[in-house]
A and B are shown apart, each in its own frame.
Chain A
Amino acid sequence: MLDDFLVRAALAGIGVALAAAPLGCFVVWRRMAYFGDATAHAAVLGVAVSLVLSTSILAGVLVVSLVMAGTVSSLSDRGHAMDTLLGVMAHSALALGLVAVSFVHGVRIDLMAYLFGDILAVGKADLAVIWAGAALVLGLMGRRWSGLLTATLNTDLAHASGVAPEREQMILVLSLAVVVAVALKVVGVLLITALLIIPAAAARPFSRTPEAMVLIAAALGTAATTGGLQAAYWLDTPTGPTIVSVAAGLFALSSLAGRIKASTRSAAADGDR
């Protein structure tokens, strides 16, 4: 079954979608979208570094993304003009990475595969890495769930309950670097943040609790990756962007449904009066 490239692609997409669901929810709740961008874009630099040092791409991406995420995280603790600073870092990381890759001679690399992903080329070894990474992230999130959630609500409240918000932030940073490293092959650096935040945002209107939002985001993410894969196959379009387009379509539908739900509820409330 794993010999079929479409099956491998679907399994890779589902693995990434599952890991992205809880992390994506935290990225949305904590307003870390640029943080995700900076970490993901640094991955190109990681690719360049590993080509120069001829180490494995995975290791290079993981290390550089982790360094970037750590830097951004420590800067954000100072808490001034974060939006601008993160924007600067996210796009500088991408630009620097692209420049660095151009210096690497002798190795012909398919830059597009790193920018937009190459899910159809996922091999059995890639699949193992993706699922190991996903399992790691899901395990971390599951173990630390309550602490992460409390720290996200309010850092003082967390301190008073004996939860250390700095440690929870580190766990998110680590998970983000892992998701970037394993999602690189699936959607590419430019669209990783999209895969994190779009399913989570689409899940919001139908969720009453944080846990429900994660489960719905996981379902929507899975639907977007498998649906996008299918659509890309039929339409002969690039797979990564097609997956994100399907996710965007789901988000549009969910926003519309959320609107309708809200307006019928307020109409019902008016009727009660």
Chain B
Amino acid sequence: MTLLAIKDLDIALGGRLVLEDIHLRVEPGEIVTIVGPNGSGKTTLLRSIIGSLRPSRGRIDKAPGLTIGYVPQRLHLDATLPMTVSRFMGLPRRRSARPVEQVLERAGAGGLGGRQMSALSGGQFQRVLLARALLESPDLLILDEATQGLDHRGSADFYRELEPLRRELGCGVLMVSHELHVVMRSSDRVVCLNRSICCEGTPERVTASPAYLAMFGMDARDAVALYRHEHDSRPVPLEMTS
């Protein structure tokens, strides 16, 4: 069954049309990536899917009982709010310690349970956010620029882990990223968004389409080729001689 079906969606913010005539479907086990320039409405689209924004036209249908795991672009934690990682994992529903530890381990944040959220590095923080999203065993995982603040290698690692995760959980993944090179490889389908959807398809097809090239320039054409290549023979990291 289709996890998510968006039809004729318009979203207006402050009287301005930010998204227009969006049609989008996400099937179980599928990784769909939304790319687009700044201000193209990527985050707005995700926020309307989780229910933060009301459509001004059209509809968003979710499979009955769909659980969403959501990783926000950035989470600002007020300095006055004390919060351990394990307490954070239990919001809004308390969980017993064992599954929390397991899912933290799975997301690459093992052993951080007792730490304060404010004491985490950028990468650890994003992994904890991912772990919290996984805790609900989501049918649909929604990632909004989930690797912001990570270096290139960190974000490549992050996206590389999505594929096994998707297989394990059998969930669909809908994500937004502007790191074209990194996400192209892990996506089944790419959606190019610039207020409305301008092209859509497999990474190979999208990167060859004129609309995509007009949006990101000719450099972006190599996004897939580069990664298909790197995937085959992963570059060996330079060893420091000290």
The chain A residues found within 8 Å of chain B, CB to CB, are 28-31, 146-147, 149-150, 152-163, 200-201, 204, 207-213
Contacts and interface: CB of A to CB of B under 8 A. Distances in A.
30 contacts: A29-B78, A29-B81, A30-B78, A146-B92, A146-B93, A146-B94, A149-B91, A150-B92, A153-B75, A153-B81, A153-B88, A154-B72, A156-B47, A156-B50, A156-B52, A156-B70, A156-B72, A158-B92, A159-B51, A159-B52, A160-B51, A161-B91, A161-B92, A162-B92, A201-B80, A204-B80, A207-B82, A208-B116, A210-B82, A210-B83
B91 A153 contact: yes
B50 A160 contact: yes
Given A154-B72, A156-B47, A157-B70, A210 B87 contact: yes
A160 B47 CA distance: 9
A80 B76 CA distance: 19
A23 B152 CA distance: 43
Contacts of A212: 82
Contacts of B84: 208-209
Contacts of A149: 91-92
A29 B50 contact: no
A178 to B, nearest CB: 23
Interface string B52-79: 1000000000000000111010011110
A69 to B, nearest CB: 21
* Majority SS at the chain A contact face: helix
Given A146-B93, A146-B94, A150-B91, A160 B142 contact: yes
Interface of B: 47, 50-52, 68-70, 72, 75-78, 80-84, 87-88, 91-94, 116, 136, 142
Contacts of B80: 28-29, 200-201, 204
A213 B94 CA distance: 18
B178 to A, nearest CB: 19
Most chain A CB inside 10 Å of its own CB: which residue of B72, B78, B82:
B82
A155 B52 contact: yes
Nearest to A146: B92
Given A159-B47, A159-B51, A160-B68, 19 more contacts: A28-B80, A29-B78, A29-B81, A146-B93, A153-B81, A153-B83, A154-B72, A155-B52, A156-B50, A159-B50, A160-B51, A161-B91, A200-B80, A208-B84, A209-B83, A209-B87, A210-B82, A210-B87, A212-B82
A27 to B, nearest CB: 10
Contacts of A155: 52
